[in-house]
Amino acid sequence: MAPPSTAIKGGPTTARGRRTRSALVTAAREVFEDVGFRDARISEIATRAGTSYGVFYNYFTGKDAIFDEVFTGVMGEMFSASQAPTGVGDPVEKIRASNRRYLTVAARNARLIAVLEELALRDPQFRDLKLRMREPFLRRIEAGIRRFQEQGIADAHLDPRMAASLLGGMIEHFSMLWFIHDADFDEDVAVDTLTRLWAHALGLQEQAGDDRDVPVPATG
Amino acid sequence: MHSSPTTARGRTTRALLISAAREVFEADGFHDARISDIAERAGTSYGLFYTYFSSKEEILDEVLTEAMADFVPASLAAAGVSDPQERIAIGIRRYLDAARRHARLFGTLEELALRDPKFRELKFRIRAPYVQRIEDGTRRLQDRGLADQDLDARTVATMLTGMIEHFTLQWFVYGIEADEDLAVATLTRLWVQAIRLQPPSG
């Protein structure tokens, strides 16, 4: 076993080590957002984190490794922030709340997502990263559709995996148009339309008629 | 913008340049594409390129406009088909066929648009007529009482075309596996149900 001091990818064991590592991840994120991946320089990341080029390599094997780490963090944040709220019983309201939450957190992270998108279009390694990041979202939507189907409230003829991929793609694509390409949309109309399209598409039966005013759930 | 060539020979050269540019963009991407390669592949010269186009951007615009023409049948009602659901299914199948043919090219545009606002504008302009036709079609269905009138037709068109656009990118550019029949069936069902399409009365 290698001693901890030479274990490159093991987590740092001291508080100071953890602080440095986390400063590097934060700095890397900023640099990637500013200049993209290819033009990002490790020396710039290290300087911005208040440390040195050499120290960077105590924590990460390279730019790929820290990019992966930045992304895993962002996706984790997006995944939990877009979770449907507990305590909301009506399936349509659940969808509405999680659509709104997804758009909120996607707006915050749009710049970085665009960096990955751009890389993924050209490079298989980043495409795999992108698909890996997407997978938990798809699985969550798929599980939700399956549950609705089992409860007999959603269209049983839909293939849950394919429907999840398509409906997930719809919101993903829309958020890129909105936040990266600066298309002009009204948030309430966007959330409402997304929610209706999802609910109708899945054949969800709304509990008290379609046109009642629904309270908008509080979001962060 | 240069004016269109007036002679048959000029039109031929221009068309050859466009199709050569398409091949070069697909092979090398936009940034690495060289005008000399485009000219050579079209059997003409570097200097002559500039008789027809002022820049690489301008010919890209032309290449994309031509490719988008291939999507027109996907957004027009299929001749002789009156059932709206059947029309949507045919439109989706046609879209997928066109998207398959042009996947590389639109992958390149997507990449450019993610980086550069100038290409973002191009991307919007190129897809706008398609989205507009979907919006008009949705509105017609709403006017006839065949689709949910509470939906905002513009936003619906953006979102539903986004669903299919996103899927084709996944399928044809990222190479994820998908069964075509299942894809068409699911896209159609989601689309039809999303707008609450009613069967025509009578």
Residue B128, chain A, CB below 8 Å: the answer is no
Mean pLDDT of chain B: 92
User: Which of A140-149, A163-172, B70-79, B167-176 is predicted least confidently?
Assistant: B70-79
Residue B160 contacts A where some CB pair is shorter than 8 Å: yes
**A181 lies within 8 A of chain B by CB:** yes
Q: Which pLDDT score, from 0 to 100, does residue A218 have? A: 40
Count chain A–chain B contacts defined by CB atoms under 8 A.
108
pLDDT band at B116 (very low <50, low <70, confident <90, very high): confident
Q: Is the full-model pTM beyond 0.90?
A: no
Query: Which tens digits make up the pLDDT trace of B135-174?
Result: 999 999 999 999 999 999 999 999 999 999 999 999 999 8
CA–CA min distance B45, chain A (Å): 30
- Establish if B125 touches chain A: CB-CB under 8 angstroms: no
Asked if A121's CB is within 8 angstroms of B156's CB, the reply is no
Q: Do B29 and A202 touch (CB under 8 A)?
A: no
Interface touch A36/B115, C-beta < 8 Å: yes
> Residue range A161-172: average pLDDT?
97
State the average pLDDT over residues A45-66.
96
Question: Which range, of A197-211, B30-44, B48-62, averages the lowest pLDDT?
Answer: A197-211
Q: What is the tens place of the pLDDT at every residue in A18-48? A: 999 999 999 999 999 999 999 999 999 999 9
What is chain B's length? 202
Cross-chain residue pair B194–A200, CB shorter than 8 Å: yes
Q: Residue A186 corresponds to which amino acid?
A: D
Query: How is chain A classified by DSSP, letter by letter?
Result: ---GGG-SSSPP-SHHHHHHHHHHHHHHHHHHHHHTTTT--HHHHHHHTTS-HHHHHHH-SSHHHHHHHHHHHHHHHHHHHTSPPTT---HHHHHHHHHHHHHHHHHHHHHHHHHHHHHHHH-HHHHHHHHHHHHHHHHHHHHHHHHHHHTT-S-TTS-HHHHHHHHHHHHHHHHHHHHTS-----HHHHHHHHHHHHHHHTTPPPTT-SSS--PPPP--
Note whether A214 contacts B: Cβ–Cβ < 8 A. Answer: no
So what's the pLDDT on residue A219?
A: 38
- Please tell me if residue A194 touches chain B, with a CB cutoff of 8 Å: yes
The shortest CB-CB distance from A118 to any of B114, B156, B178 is to B114
Inter-chain residue contact A182 with B120, CB threshold 8 Å:
yes
pLDDT at residue A122, rounded to an integer: 84
User: Which of A200, A210, A213 is best to mutate for the B interface (most B CBs within 10 A)?
Assistant: A200
State which amino acid sits at residue A51.
T
Distance, in angstroms, between A98 CA and closest chain B CA? 17
Rounded CA-CA distance A39/A192 in Å is: 39
Residue among B92, B131, B141, B170 with most chain A CBs within 10 A, to mutate: B170
- Using the Cβ of B196 and the Cβ atoms of chain A, whether some distance falls under 8 Å is answered with yes
Are A167 and B190 in contact (CB < 8 Å)? yes
**Does the interface ipTM go beyond 0.95?**
no
- Residues in chain A with CB shorter than 8 Å from the CB of B120 are 180-182
Across the interface, whether the CB atoms of B155 and A158 are under 8 A apart is answered no
**CA-closest candidate to residue A181, choices B62, B153, B121:** B121
- B3 confidence band (pLDDT: 50, 70, 90): low
Instruction: Indicate if the pLDDT at residue B197 is higher than 90.
Output: yes
Query: Are the Cβ atoms of B186 and A158 closer than 8 angstroms?
Result: yes
